[in-house]
Amino acid sequence: MAKINLLPWREELRKERQQEFIGIIVAVALVAAALVWLVTENIEGQWKSQKSRNAFIQKEMSVLTEQISEIQELRDKREQLLERMELIQNLQGNRPIIVRLFDEIARSIPDDLYFTSLDIKGTQVNVKGRAKSNNRVAALMRNFDDSDWFDAPNLISVKSEQGGYNTFEVTMTQVDPKNAKQEDE
């Protein structure tokens, strides 16, 4: 006898195709979820790696900043020491000049003339004092003018005081005779 299939074969075929479709959708969803998870993990790993690199760079930058500040402090100290050394060398070099200057001042003072103040600022010398007469002040001016250690003496003022004394003020320029001779040549 002939085989007749009375079962609804189209419905079974439709169910089979629907089950295959659901299986494929589930498989695609699983693959997509796995792919999303892998990409997310990769991005998160890169983010953590970059974050750790940034932290390392920040740490190294703070170390370098401290070293830069130490270097700047050392440079400042070096500059201060160089300035001190230069000042000491200048003072050492000027020591004999100052002694010679005071010796020349002492030799230039005539009798009956006294200094009340002597002020030296750089190369400017300012002398204040008392004398018995104007002739003594004039002699002092001539002595300063004849000296190799002083140049351009200038009488600022002479005032007559009680007791027969005159007060005076003289300014002049200090000159180093060695340097003056070299400049003349």
**Counting every residue, how long is the chain?**
185
- CATH number belonging to domain 112-184: 3.30.70.2830
Q: Residues 6 or more apart from 37 whose CB is under 8 A from it?
A: none
Write out pLDDT tens, residues 96-144: 777 888 888 888 888 888 899 999 888 898 999 999 888 888 898 898 8
Give whole-number Cα distances, 69 to 62, 73, 79, 166, in Å.
11, 6, 15, 62
CB 120 within 8 A of CB 104: no
In this prediction the pTM is 0.49
For 34-81, what is each residue's pLDDT tens digit?
Answer: 999 999 999 999 999 999 999 999 999 999 999 999 999 999 999 999
Contact predicate 175/146, CB 8 Å: no
The full set of domain ranges for the chain reads 15-108, 112-184
